[in-house]
């Protein structure tokens, strides 16, 4: 089994699609490690705010097989793959890390660049994997978050409940 971290985001019917994604991931992979849910402004385009979180799973699937499963979950939630790269999304699920793999496989570049560039990826990742080392930077996610310029992007935790469990609370 390989430990994998996934980034989930939605800015269209956000709660509905994040809940559906968590249900689908639990059905496919079993126990999930789930960060708080954060709201952030759209990055790279003018659009509605996103809900973002990071989920940890264990899988025996290859990167290609995992990517296919995640695309199916996105498609099941109305993901439109036409249009600009930076646009509104019903659901976006990205593989952030796949164990300690570094490189490109099945069109997936790992570790994903967004880890160190976007607060909406790094903060939730640091929350659920604080002592895990970034496979390239060699620093713990907690340290990367401490070093991150918090003025670059605004985000904040939101109240979110999944399957009767409080995932996060607004500050």
Map residue 143 onto helix, strand or coil.
Answer: helix
Task: Write the burial class of residue 27 (CB in 10 Å: 0-12 exposed, 13-18 middle, 19+ buried).
Answer: exposed
Residue pLDDT, tens place only, 104-157: 999 999 999 999 999 999 999 999 999 999 999 999 999 999 999 999 888 999
Map residue 32 onto helix, strand or coil.
Answer: coil
Q: What is the DSSP letter of 49?
A: P
Map residue 48 onto helix, strand or coil.
Answer: coil
CATH topology assigned to domain 2-168: Alpha-Beta Plaits (3.30.70)
pTM of the model: 0.92
- Average pLDDT, whole number, for the chain? 91
In angstroms, the CA 79 to CA 102 distance is 27
């Amino acid at each position: 089994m390989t430990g994998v971290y996934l980034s989930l985001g939605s800015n269209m019917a956000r709660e509905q699609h994040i809940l559906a994604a968590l249900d689908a991931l639990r059905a496919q992979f079993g126990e999930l490690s789930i960060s708080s849910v954060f709201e952030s402004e759209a990055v790279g385009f003018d659009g509605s705010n996103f809900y973002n979180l990071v989920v940890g799973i264990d899988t025996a699937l290859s990167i290609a097989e995992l990517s296919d499963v995640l695309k199916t979950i996105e498609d099941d939630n109305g993901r439109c793959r036409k249009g600009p790269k930076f646009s509104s999304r019903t659901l976006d699920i990205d593989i952030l890390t796949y164990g300690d793999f570094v490189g490109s496989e099945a069109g997936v570049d790992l570790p994903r660049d967004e880890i160190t560039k976007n607060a909406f990826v790094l903060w939730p990742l640091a929350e659920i994997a604080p002592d895990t080392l970034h496979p390239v930077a060699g620093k713990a996610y907690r340290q990367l978050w401490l070093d991150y310029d918090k003025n670059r992007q605004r985000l904040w935790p939101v109240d979110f409940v999944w399957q009767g469990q409080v995932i996060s609370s607004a500050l």
